[in-house]
């Protein structure tokens, strides 16, 4: 497996209006929850963007710009980039149900942009407890 150099977290545009994204970034730096598979001793970088709003179509333009800039300026290629759809997009939670455009955005990421995709970022302990009680749909 090629070592990843960049993680891009795509957050819900609506949720991002009141969420700073701090907990996703904090979770990444601690390498817990959906970031636990990454080595904490490497120079892995983190970028948080939004989907651009429903239906997420601007995700492709943002990813294409990032891919172009990363390769031209830092020689980072597609195989060294992984995209995480944040938990607010991927799973039902306090913020609401999983994104109704999740499959469309996933297709943009994997088929159109050609990037690896992981579902989830931070996993709230409260939300996870509610999943166990079947209050929220399981991941």
DSSP assignment of 83-130, as one string?
EEE-HHHHS-BTTBSSPTTHHHHHHIIIIIS--EEEE-S---HHHHHH
Which of 54, 109, 122, 116 lies closest to 80, judged by CA? 116
pLDDT digits 0-9 by tens, 86-125: 999 999 998 889 999 999 999 999 999 999 999 999 999 9
Instruction: Establish if 68 belongs to a structural domain.
Output: yes
Instruction: Establish if 137 belongs to a structural domain.
Output: no
Instruction: Establish if 138 belongs to a structural domain.
Output: no
Categorize the per-residue pLDDT at 2 as very low, low, confident or very high, splitting at 50, 70 and 90: low
Instruction: Establish if 139 belongs to a structural domain.
Output: no
Instruction: Establish if 11 belongs to a structural domain.
Output: yes
For residue 16, give both structure tokens: 């991002």
Instruction: Establish if 31 belongs to a structural domain.
Output: yes
Instruction: Establish if 40 belongs to a structural domain.
Output: yes
Which of 80, 71, 104 lies closest to 8, judged by CA? 80
For the chain, how many structural domains are there in total? 1
Range of the domain at 28: 6-132
């Amino acid at each position: 497996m090629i070592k990843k150099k960049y993680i891009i977290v795509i957050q819900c545009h609506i949720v991002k209006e009141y969420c700073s994204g701090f907990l996703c970034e904090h979770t990444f730096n601690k390498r817990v929850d959906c970031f636990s598979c990454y080595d904490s001793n490497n120079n892995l970088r983190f970028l948080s963007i939004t989907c651009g709003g429903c239906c997420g179509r601007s995700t492709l333009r943002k990813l294409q710009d990032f891919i172009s800039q990363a390769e031209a300026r830092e020689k980072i290629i597609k195989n060294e980039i992984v995209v995480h759809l944040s938990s607010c997009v991927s799973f039902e939670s306090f913020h609401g149900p999983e994104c109704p455009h999740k499959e469309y955005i996933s297709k943009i990421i994997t088929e159109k942009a050609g990037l690896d995709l992981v579902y989830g970022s931070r996993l709230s302990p409260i939300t996870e407890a509610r999943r166990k009680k079947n209050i929220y749909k399981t991941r």
